[in-house]
Amino acid sequence: MRKKSENHNILQQSPQKVGNSPKFYQLSKSIRNLIYRNGFYRTGMRDFAKNAEMSLSNLYVYFPSKDEIGLHHIEEEEKDQISKLEALMKLNPDPKKFFRVWLISKRTDARKGNFIGCPFSSFSYQTEKLDSRIHNSIQNFTIIWEKLLSSYIERAIKNKYLSIQTNSTLLAKRILSYYQGTVAMWRMSQNNSYWKVLEELIYEDLDRNSI
C-alpha cells in the first residue's frame, strides 16, 4: 500500500516552482495550462495575460515575445515529465510494474479530462514553422526521453527482470512508438479501447524479452 501511495503522489505532484517569484510561478502554471488546453498557435498574448489575470504590459516584462512563452512552456514540460518518470522508475524497478502504474495513470487522467494528449507532439503538430529554439527543444526531449527509457531497461536487464539479449534502445523506441500512436488514435476516435491495445503491445514486448 505504501508503494501505491508513493506512485500516486509522484503522478499528482505539481510542477516544480520556476525561479524565486511566486507571481512568475503562477504565470508559468497559467501559461502551461492554457497552451495544453487551447493550443499555442490559437492563443495570443492578450489571452495569456487575461488567463493569468495580469496586464499585457506586465506579461511582456516576463516574456518579450510569444516565442519566448512557447520555449518556456516546452522547457518546463520537459522538466516536469522527466522528473516524474525518473521518480516512478526508481520506485518501480520491475518494468511490468512500472508500465502498469504508468498506464493506469494515463487512462485515469484521460477519463477525468486531465490528459488530452502528449504536450510535445500536440505542440509540434500545430505548424511546420516552429521557432528553431522550440523545435530544437522538442527534438532534444525526444532524445532524452528515449535515453531515459533505454537506461531504465538496461538496469532491468542488469537486475534480471529482462533477458540479457534485450536490445534496450530498440525496445525503448518500440514502446515510445506504441505510446505516440495510441495517443494519436485515441484523440481522433475518443475510443478508450486503444489504451488496452497499448497495454497489450507493451506487455507482449516485455514478455518476449523476459528471462
pLDDT by residue (tens digit) across 20-61? 578 898 999 999 999 988 888 889 999 999 999 999 999 999
End-to-end CA distance of the chain: 27
User: Which pLDDT does position 36 carry in this prediction?
Assistant: 86
Each residue's pLDDT tens digit, 70-86? 999 999 999 999 999 99
pLDDT at position 21 is: 79
pLDDT of res. 204: 98
Average pLDDT over residues 143-164: 97
Residue 129 has pLDDT above 90, yes or no: no
Q: Which three cell numbers stand for residue 12?
A: 499528482
Contacts of 207 (CB under 8 A, 6+ apart): none
Confidence at 3, pLDDT banded by 50, 70, 90: low
Taking the CB of residue 149, how many other CB atoms lie within 10 A of it? 22
Place 11 in a pLDDT band, splitting at 50, 70 and 90.
Answer: low
**What are the DSSP calls for the chain, one per residue?**
-HHHHHHHHHHHPPPPPPSS-HHHHHHHHHHHHHHHHH-STT--HHHHHHHTTS-HHHHHHH-SSHHHHHHHHHHHHHHHHHHHHHHHHHH--SHHHHHHHHHHHHHHHHHHTS--S-HHHHHHHT-S---HHHHHHHHHHHHHHHHHHHHHHHHHHHTTSS-TT--HHHHHHHHHHHHHHHHHHHHHH--THHHHHHHHHHHHHHHHT--
Q: What is the mean pLDDT of the chain?
A: 89
The CATH number assigned to the domain with range 2-13+67-208 reads 1.10.357.10
Is residue 88 within 8 A of residue 10, CB to CB? The reply is yes
Q: What pLDDT, on a 0 to 100 scale, did the predictor assign at position 18? A: 46
Lowest mean pLDDT among 6-10, 47-51, 119-123, 201-205: 6-10
pLDDT band at 116 (very low <50, low <70, confident <90, very high): confident
The mean per-residue pLDDT over the stretch 176-203 comes to: 94
Average pLDDT of the segment spanning 90-101:
96
